[in-house]
């Protein structure tokens, strides 16, 4: 079998490549593709909808999203005609577990709802980027997520903050209302704090503990 030549560096464009990855994923998996977006920014939702118009975009609503995030997701859905599906946790969960056992809280409010969202899907698209944090530096573009039983696709894994800024400017995507208040990474309100200039983007997530991931991503 012939081995493809590596592409010349000047022909590699992570933004164009991400659209190509999403279109390949849709050709390969069709309606069995699940795109999740946390709406901390509008990039992945906009990009997925541009690559595959009308593609379903899943928001995992833990019950502890900032009110600003709920408003922002709704605003982007109307502005860009996004097809947003909201998945919520079991309504009977204890409301206070985040105070004593954040891992159990994430398991019940993020991981279990994601498992439900992926139940009838073969592939999962995420907005994970290598520049998010040290623990995500080696995130692949595509791999088998054996724990979840799906192919995991990270189309913007190689995007830098400059790629994000260029895409946002090109498509006039508004910022999350908390972005200019020191929140470069936005999760649940009990577990997200603003960060200082120059800090790791995810430094405000579970800032008082060793926890760095919610359990959705094994990176």
Residues 175-194 that bind ligand SF4 (CB under 6 A): 187-188, 190-191
- How would you list the strands of the sheet with 56-60, edge to edge? 83-87, 56-60, 33-36, 123-125, 150-153, 142-145
Q: Rule CB under 6 A: is residue 109 a binding residue for ligand SF4?
A: yes
Q: What angle do CA 96, 102, 104 make, to 5 degrees?
A: 85
Question: Any catalytic annotation for residue 106?
Answer: no
Q: Which of 36, 49, 58, 62 binds ligand SF4 (CB under 6 A)?
A: 62
Q: What are phi and psi of 132, to 5 degrees?
A: -60, -40
Which region, judged by CB under 6 A, interacts with ligand SF4, from 3-11, 68-76, 80-88, 99-107? 99-107
Q: Rule CB under 6 A: is residue 60 a binding residue for ligand SF4?
A: no
Q: Rule CB under 6 A: is residue 59 a binding residue for ligand SF4?
A: no
161 Cβ contact partners less than 8 Å away, ≥ 6 residues apart: 131
Q: Rule CB under 6 A: is residue 40 a binding residue for ligand SF4?
A: no
84 Cβ contact partners less than 8 Å away, ≥ 6 residues apart: 45, 56, 57, 58, 59, 73, 77
Which region, judged by CB under 6 A, interacts with ligand SF4, from 20-28, 98-106, 147-155, 169-177? 98-106
Q: Rule CB under 6 A: is residue 105 a binding residue for ligand SF4?
A: yes
Q: In terms of CB distance, is 68 or 122 closer to ligand SF4?
A: 68
Q: Rule CB under 6 A: is residue 117 a binding residue for ligand SF4?
A: no
Q: Are 111 and 214 in contact (CB under 8 A)?
A: yes
Query: Cα(107)–Cα(214) distance, rounded to whole angstroms?
Result: 8
Q: Rule CB under 6 A: is residue 110 a binding residue for ligand SF4?
A: yes
Residues that bind ligand SF4 (CB under 6 A): 62, 64, 98, 102, 105-106, 109-110, 187-188, 190-191, 214
User: Which sequence positions are flagged as catalytic?
Assistant: 214
């Amino acid at each position: 079998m012939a081995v493809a030549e590596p592409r010349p560096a000047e022909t590699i464009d992570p933004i164009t490549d991400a659209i190509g990855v999403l279109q390949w994923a849709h050709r390969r998996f069709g309606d069995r593709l699940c795109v999740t977006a946390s709406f901390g920014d509008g990039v992945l939702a906009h990009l997925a909808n541009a690559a595959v118009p009308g593609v379903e975009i899943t928001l995992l609503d833990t019950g502890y999203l900032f009110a600003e995030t709920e408003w922002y997701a709704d605003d982007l859905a109307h502005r860009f005609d996004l097809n947003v599906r909201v998945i919520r946790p079991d309504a009977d969960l204890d409301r206070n577990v985040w105070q004593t056992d954040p891992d159990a809280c994430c398991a019940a409010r993020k991981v279990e709802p994601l498992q439900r969202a992926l139940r009838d899907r073969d592939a999962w698209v995420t907005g994970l980027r290598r520049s998010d944090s040290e623990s995500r530096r080696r995130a692949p573009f595509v791999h088998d997520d054996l724990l979840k039983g799906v192919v995991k696709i990270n189309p913007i894994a190689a995007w830098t903050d400059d790629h994000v800024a260029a895409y946002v400017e090109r498509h006039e995507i508004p910022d999350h209302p908390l972005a200019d208040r020191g929140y470069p990474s936005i999760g649940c309100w009990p577990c997200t704090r603003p960060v200082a200039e120059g800090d790791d983007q995810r430094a405000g997530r579970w800032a008082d503990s060793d926890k760095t991931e919610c359990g959705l991503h094994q990176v």
